[in-house]
Amino acid sequence: MRHANTRGLRFVVPFFLLLVFSVQLAQSQPAGNFLKDVMDHKGDIQWITYKTPTLPDDVCTLLSACTGAAAKVAALPPATIHGRKVGRALFLTEVKKQQTIILEHQVPGSEVYFFQLGPDGSLQKTAYLETGKTFLVIANSLAQPIFQADMKDWQAWVAKPAPAKGN
């Protein structure tokens, strides 16, 4: 009888592993080419240009992201997500002379995520800060739920027509 149970597990375990791998692969796919969408609508976006990089020095170092001209910044209106106030910003900067987007997700007094996107819109690196601690690079899989939710909001924001200038 024990032999029959072992044989059944031999088929269930690979199936379960395949299922888990498929779900993770689906979550890691880029959410469209967000960089291209931002660049296509660059003239319609209300950018705030700062004279110095607006990314924290630790984030610049961890993501190797502050090598070009001053970053341009755009922000989503503050939101309440899961009962917490959240601020989100989009930084358009350069890495190795290529336009790069870094998204910020900040819960004041709690935590901050910085998501560096690849040229295809996929999540490349995540820097994380918990209040009272130092920034560190974390596994993208840990940040994926927050990144995916924010990406939906950013894509909707970029796709929305800009208000007429002067209004």
DSSP class per residue in 112-161: EEEEEEPTTS-EEEEEEEETTS--EEE-HHHHHHHHHHHHHHHHHHHHSP
pLDDT of residue 91: 92
Phi and psi at residue 65, to the nearest 5°: -120, 5
What pTM did the predictor assign?
0.75
Q: How far apart are alpha carbons 103 and 116 in whole angstroms?
A: 7
Q: How far apart are alpha carbons 156 and 9 in whole angstroms?
A: 45
pLDDT of residue 124: 93
Locate the domains of the chain by residue range: 1-30, 31-159
pLDDT of residue 17: 34
pLDDT of residue 12: 37
pLDDT of residue 146: 95
pLDDT of residue 54: 77
Q: How far apart are alpha carbons 163 and 167 in whole angstroms?
A: 7
pLDDT of residue 127: 96
- The rounded average pLDDT for each run of 10 residues, N- to C-terminus, in the chain (167 residues) is 49 37 39 78 79 78 82 89 93 85 94 92 93 93 94 87 50
pLDDT of residue 66: 79
Q: Where are the alpha helices (DSSP H) in 2-79?
A: 2-28, 34-40, 57-63
pLDDT of residue 119: 84
pLDDT of residue 140: 93
